[in-house]
Structure 1
């Protein structure tokens, strides 16, 4: 059988997906596609100046929240921002140290592209409270970030949470191009109801998060008492890294159903609730349980059994990363030589420059920065590497992988 051209395969993928009975809710594609991912705090004159003429069909927009784990993450996040930046997307950055925050604010003000498009927001000092790793304050920070993105930026379709140890494996043009062919109500979230040892180490203990009481971060405190497992809903757990639809986040934060609020109260007494809250909400909701794809779109290399923690990626993992089709990698240590290989071979990015894309109209001849001259932000110029993400999504959406792995 003759193989269809790539563009035709993508069109057929979109047609087949749109034919799936994903939701009983109205699909808001038109409203999402028509909105602008500029900060709503910008003046009407500024927003009008950024719009320009548009084609009838626009790619989706991605809303990123980038979190620093502690002081000293500023340089890593600055590099991550350069690798991730695209004027079509939205970015919310949160760091712990005041020095890192001031440095990132100066970086955003000093770069012409983020200054012109107004799509990078650095959280102000004191805007976030203390966050305890593995505690409910970590989940609260993620929900807060989603609420800020919903309030301050318009028109984005997917929410993606990244840390300073994450890094993209392909240009944003590749991701936006392939995501243009899938329904915007899909949620990429790794999940399972087979919680195993996590029942006794995460669900049953009664915990106290000290960050709710004191400003400095400390470890979660456990009590001797244990609690029983719930019978009103089924617990699901998985990766804390997610790619969630705007519709599902609005349901989780503003929803007409009481389920998200009920589960939020339950997960205040749960070790690492970020690895269970969204998973349990989406799989216990009749509206959204059929929108899940059981994958977080991250490449990770695990430790030897019991495969509990991802190892730091090195140059030895490069071929596996490049061929995985995953758009992001976790976890990458600071000043990792593997990042330099990703920049050169996968992103086409020079040091201290943005990843080039269709929005960059300058010439790279003689080592010049092509992103010194801006074109239309919605114009995409995907690379050959986008076919790897296409292949991954087609595999995830095969009948043997899609429905059977939803909320099981």
Structure 2
């Protein structure tokens, strides 16, 4: 049910005036750290008006309120057998009418589970109105730690490039990820960032991974068979490449449309060369984008060395990160990261995040400025919706702002790019 002419203002209880001064400090830091703000960001910082409270007309020309144009995110949310309900919950938690979403249950999931997810996306009234959620019908086979994971990700990116042409950043999540703040918070802070910043944790100091990841040669049977199995190992070892430098890091990324266009349509042969190289590399999602971006002069200076996730590891690190619980809640919040992983299915900490951070009830979307229903009269305030250009950031956006300020500090930013 749509209500016309919405004007949703920031709630001063949630969003104290102090943050406006903090945002201005972020702008100043950006101008110093980056040396310039590219016109592609569509952001005119000189027109920032701390009294203005509504973003408008962001589908087209400059915002009439003088605030920077809101970005759009393209989310890939992936899972496997038994993850249908988890994907639905993650979608509800990160949903916003401005964004685009692609849901992928791999080939190990049943057709019935995939169909159930597609039925939900087709029947949900809000999604039907905004038509911004897609479900992959012909699923990909994904082998854990094999190159089929990169193939699946590139497939999703190609769909976004064809079907949704006006997005700014691509974000990949899994069924075991969860947001720590609303999309209004994320859209608000990212509206002040240049549109050419790529967030991915990376390093060329790969240490033990050289002998356990880079030198071994593996074959992923998922490239040839229709049933999932482990990767095969060759007896031979490869030498380290001389024509490019290997980088590794987190598989979770926030990447720009312009960089991903280069990876998919590549006017340079580097993305294809590295794609062939990583076909036989263990855990290719932890290195492919990182190596492409750091070996090309047009993109190596656009990197921010962080994956925008809160992830906790054992010391020394094991193969998988620690499963997050209620005892990690305060650390998650204080990290400032907009996402966290990994979570067990239906762990109580997810309910705590919903209640205290997202203000979201079970089965509902995370509320934002676009939700104009009265919670006292309707069960879900997002059943009545207004303009997707109206956002209501909360106090959580301040934590993300502090993280971004720290990451873009001059001493941290340039010194950690592709090193």
- Give the equivalent residue in structure 2 for 1:389: 400
- Give the equivalent residue in structure 1 for 2:13: none
Conserved? CA contact 2:180–2:333, under 8 Å:
yes
Measure, in 2, the Cα distance between the counterparts of 1:23 and 1:262. Answer: 32
Deviates more, 1:307-316 or 1:175-184: 307-316
The structure showing larger relative contact order (alpha-carbon pairs under 8 Å, at least 6 residues apart) is 2
Secondary structure, counterpart of 2:144 in structure 1 = coil
Q: How does 1:74-153 map to 2 (within 5 A)?
A: 74-96=84-106, 97=109, 98-124=111-137, 126=138, 128-153=139-164
Aligned length: 383
Conserved? CA contact 1:18–1:183, under 8 Å:
no
Secondary structure, counterpart of 2:258 in structure 1 = helix
Matched, 1:190 2:201: yes
TM-score of the pair, normalised by structure 1: 0.89
Which residue, 347, 357, 368 being the options, matches 2:368?
A: 357
Conserved? CA contact 2:33–2:410, under 8 Å:
no
Post-superposition shift, 1:307?
4.7
Matched, 1:28 2:40: yes
Which residue, 352, 374, 384 being the options, matches 2:385?
A: 374
Conserved? CA contact 2:201–2:250, under 8 Å:
yes
Measure, in 2, the Cα distance between the counterparts of 1:10 and 1:51. Answer: 23
Measure, in 1, the Cα distance between the counterparts of 2:29 and 2:334. Answer: 25
Matched, 1:287 2:295: no
Deviates more, 1:393-402 or 1:55-64: 55-64
Measure, in 2, the Cα distance between the counterparts of 1:184 and 1:103. Answer: 36
Matched, 1:339 2:379: no
Deviation by residue 1:297-347 (Cα, 9 ceiling, x = unmatched): 001111232354211110101111111110001001101000000000000
Deviation by residue 1:124-153 (Cα, 9 ceiling, x = unmatched): 1x2x43221111111111111111111111
Conserved? CA contact 2:29–2:408, under 8 Å:
no
Q: CA RMSD in A?
A: 2.1
Deviation by residue 1:145-170 (Cα, 9 ceiling, x = unmatched): 11111111121100000000000000
Deviates more, 1:101-110 or 1:166-175: 101-110
Secondary structure, counterpart of 1:225 in structure 2 = strand
Measure, in 2, the Cα distance between the counterparts of 1:370 and 1:306. Answer: 43
Measure, in 1, the Cα distance between the counterparts of 2:203 and 2:172. Answer: 20
Measure, in 2, the Cα distance between the counterparts of 1:365 and 1:52. Answer: 34
Measure, in 2, the Cα distance between the counterparts of 1:61 and 1:177. Answer: 11
TM-score of the pair, normalised by structure 2: 0.87
For structure 2, list consecutive stretches of 5 or more residues without a partner in the other structure.
1-16, 44-57
Conserved? CA contact 2:248–2:291, under 8 Å:
yes
Conserved? CA contact 1:67–1:93, under 8 Å:
yes
- Give the equivalent residue in structure 1 for 2:72: 61
- Give the equivalent residue in structure 1 for 2:229: 218
